[in-house]
Amino acid sequence: MIGTPSLWSAAVTVLAMFVYMYMIINVGIARGKTGISPPAMTGAPQLERAIRVHSNTLEGMPLFLAGLWLATVYFSPAFPVVGWLPAALGVFWCIGRLMYMQGYMAHPEKRSTGYLVSALPMLVNLILSIIGIVAGFMSVSA
């Protein structure tokens, strides 16, 4: 694989920023279509859905980014053969968030698949972070 795990995770971080910016723009578009100006947050289901997608993604983003970078810093060097895994999981998080947005905007009950596709990579990167940190402690004590 070309590039280092940290380069790939940096690229995924930029991708996640673009996904989030797209959601910000989606709120603005919904405001334009519904005629509901800030600071109002309610009044039209389409606007409320756009705001929830944006807010839900913001709520999960610190967990996603922390897991991505902890796994990159600790897991990738400890297990270089699969050092690309945190970044690959990050791509799935981005895809899942877009699926979440598409489903939620269509109908709130259709958000579950996208949620699961984005939640699983967050959980796996958390687990990889723990594995990498434990491996780091074990190599220091050896």
Confidence band for 141, pLDDT divided at 50, 70 and 90: confident
Could you give the number of structural domains in the chain?
Answer: 1
Summarize the confidence of residues 85-98 as an average pLDDT: 98
Confidence band for 93, pLDDT divided at 50, 70 and 90: very high
Any idea what the CATH number is for the domain that residue 9 is in?
Answer: 1.20.120.550
Predicted local confidence at residue 2, as pLDDT:
73
pLDDT tens-digit readout, 25-82? 999 999 999 999 999 999 999 999 999 999 999 999 999 999 999 999 999 999 999 9
Query: pLDDT over 70 for what percent of the chain?
Result: 99
Nearest to 120 by CA among 112, 109, 131: 112
Predicted local confidence at residue 1, as pLDDT:
55
Tokens describing residue 98:
């877009």
pLDDT, the chain, mean: 96
| Residue 102: other Cβ atoms inside 10 A | 14
Tokens describing residue 45:
């289901």
The CA-based dihedral angle spanning residues 68, 74, 78, 81, taken in that order and rounded to the nearest 10 degrees? 20
Structural domain range at position 39: 5-141
Write down the pTM of the prediction.
Answer: 0.94
Predicted local confidence at residue 130, as pLDDT:
98
